[in-house]
Amino acid sequence: MPRLDARAHPETIRRAGRTLRVGLVAIGLAALLVASALVAIGAGPASIAPADTAGYLWAALTGGTIPADEVSRYQIIWQIRTPRVLLAAVVGAGLGAMGVAVQAMVRNALAEPYLLGVSAGAATGAVSVGVWGGLGALGIYAVSTGAFLGGLVACAVVYLAAARASVLSPLRLVLVGVAMSFAFQAATSVIVYFAPNAEAASTVLFWTMGGFGAASWATLPVVAVAVAAGIAILAFRAGRLDVLSLGDEAAASLGVDTGRELRWLLVLTSVVTGAMVAVSGAIGFVGLVVPHLIRIWVGASHARVLAVAPLAGALLMVWIDLASRTLVAPREIPVGAVTALIGVPVFVYMLRRRAYLFGGS
């Protein structure tokens, strides 16, 4: 932590104070995330105390033994709930970070990771594989792979439609992304309408509303690596995000090629978002609310926001997933519905209570 000196320049003191606050917020959120994950892993129809949950996790990680009469409880914890809670945390972290990137990329306070049509394209890819088959050699990964490829196709289509002479405009990106979202949604509807069975409707519901019911240890590492790499790259280039959010003229005066920055941001956010949608479906609103909330806490600097937003997104998603699977147990509420029901009132209240503007308060 920085040490404040009364003889230092006032701006240096303010900067050190902000760094200290960011560090404390990050530590607090990390501690809350660990505690929340422990509670969420133990919660459910078969409730297990946090102490027992911690014991089962420790046994799994260290190769310890489990009494014969507790094997079923151990399997519930390790094989079902732990990958689900970890996936919720990973996706929440990714949505928080990608929301920061997309809002800087298009300089729009209403932007979120799904604005550019990636989620709609992923849903079309997943439904196409589920209804028509294909990618059968991939087994249980076929639908997720179809979703990821659909997201990449959507990214490519948005880029080709929005770029003019290899130059990208934030406004064109938003407009083309919204238009392509409608186009992919229409394509998905047509596929479902002509589907030979009724299961396609439930598949569409999952990919449009999101959920973590399909979480497993087999799918978790891939999306975790993609999200971690995306966050690391964004943190490394946080200074360029600060410049990019100032506008094209200001960025050009500071020597930043906005066209190139927009291209790599579009590719990065699309790949990471596609990876998340491939395992969880489309979960909206988290990537919109979290960046704004964090900017109120730590200011507009992208380095500070990116240090905290992934932790906040992960914490929020863990609790939202817990609510989705316990409020009306044994049935589940789609996670996307819970994010909207909780996020909209919180977001409106936050904006009314604080004199907040995009980029700072």
- E-only strand ranges, the chain: none
* Closest C-alpha among 230, 338, 206 to residue 278: 206
* Closest C-alpha among 347, 336, 342, 350 to residue 88: 336
On average, the pLDDT of the chain sits at 82
Decide: 162 and 172 in contact? Cβ < 8 Å. yes
Q: What is the pLDDT of residue 361?
A: 43
Does 293 or 14 have the greater pLDDT score?
A: 293
Q: pLDDT (tens digit, 9 = 90+) per residue, 136-188?
A: 667 667 878 888 888 888 888 888 888 776 667 778 888 888 898 899 889 88
Q: What is the pLDDT of residue 9?
A: 61
Decide: 270 and 116 in contact? Cβ < 8 Å. yes
Is residue 321 in some structural domain?
A: yes
Decide: 103 and 231 in contact? Cβ < 8 Å. no
* Closest C-alpha among 295, 274, 350, 285 to residue 316: 285
Q: pLDDT (tens digit, 9 = 90+) per residue, 183-232?
A: 988 988 888 777 766 666 666 666 677 889 888 898 899 899 999 999 99
Measured distance CA(270)–CA(262) in Å, rounded: 12
* pLDDT-derived band at 113, boundaries 50, 70, 90: confident
CA 197 to chain centre: 32
Whether the predicted pLDDT of 237 surpasses 80? yes
Q: What is the pLDDT of residue 329?
A: 75
CATH of the domain at 298: 1.10.3470.10
Whether the predicted pLDDT of 3 surpasses 60? no
Summarize the confidence of residues 11-36 as an average pLDDT. 82
Is residue 141 in some structural domain?
A: yes
Measured distance CA(106)–CA(262) in Å, rounded: 8
Please state the domain count of the chain: 1
pLDDT over 70 percentage in the chain: 84
Is residue 246 in some structural domain?
A: yes
Is residue 181 in some structural domain?
A: yes
Q: pLDDT (tens digit, 9 = 90+) per residue, 261-313?
A: 888 888 898 889 888 988 888 888 888 889 888 888 888 888 999 999 999 99
Is residue 358 in some structural domain?
A: no
Q: What is the pLDDT of residue 94?
A: 95
From residue 41, give the alpha-carbon distance in Å to each of 45, 89, 193, 211, 269. 11, 12, 38, 16, 29
SS3 164: strand
Measured distance CA(276)–CA(87) in Å, rounded: 9
Is residue 258 in some structural domain?
A: yes
Q: pLDDT (tens digit, 9 = 90+) per residue, 60-88?
A: 888 888 888 888 898 999 999 999 999 99
Summarize the confidence of residues 17-26 as an average pLDDT. 79
SS3 167: strand
Q: What is the pLDDT of residue 218?
A: 86
pTM of whole model > 0.85? yes
Measured distance CA(323)–CA(321) in Å, rounded: 5
Measured distance CA(55)–CA(60) in Å, rounded: 9
Is residue 28 in some structural domain?
A: yes
- E-only strand ranges, 113-181: none
Q: What is the pLDDT of residue 11?
A: 59
| Structure tokens that stand for 357 in this block | 């503007």
CA 62 to chain centre: 30
* pLDDT-derived band at 360, boundaries 50, 70, 90: very low
Q: What is the pLDDT of residue 146?
A: 83
Is residue 3 in some structural domain?
A: no
Residue 233, class by beta-carbon neighbours within 10 Å (0-12 exposed, 13-18 middle, 19+ buried)?
middle
Range of the domain at 257: 10-353
Q: What share of the chain is helix, strand, coil (3-state, %, to 5)?
A: 75, 0, 25
Which residue matches tokens 């049509």? 117
* pLDDT-derived band at 14, boundaries 50, 70, 90: low
Summarize the confidence of residues 24-28 as an average pLDDT. 89
Tell me the residue type at 219: T
| Structure tokens that stand for 239 in this block | 């200074």
Q: What is the pLDDT of residue 158?
A: 86
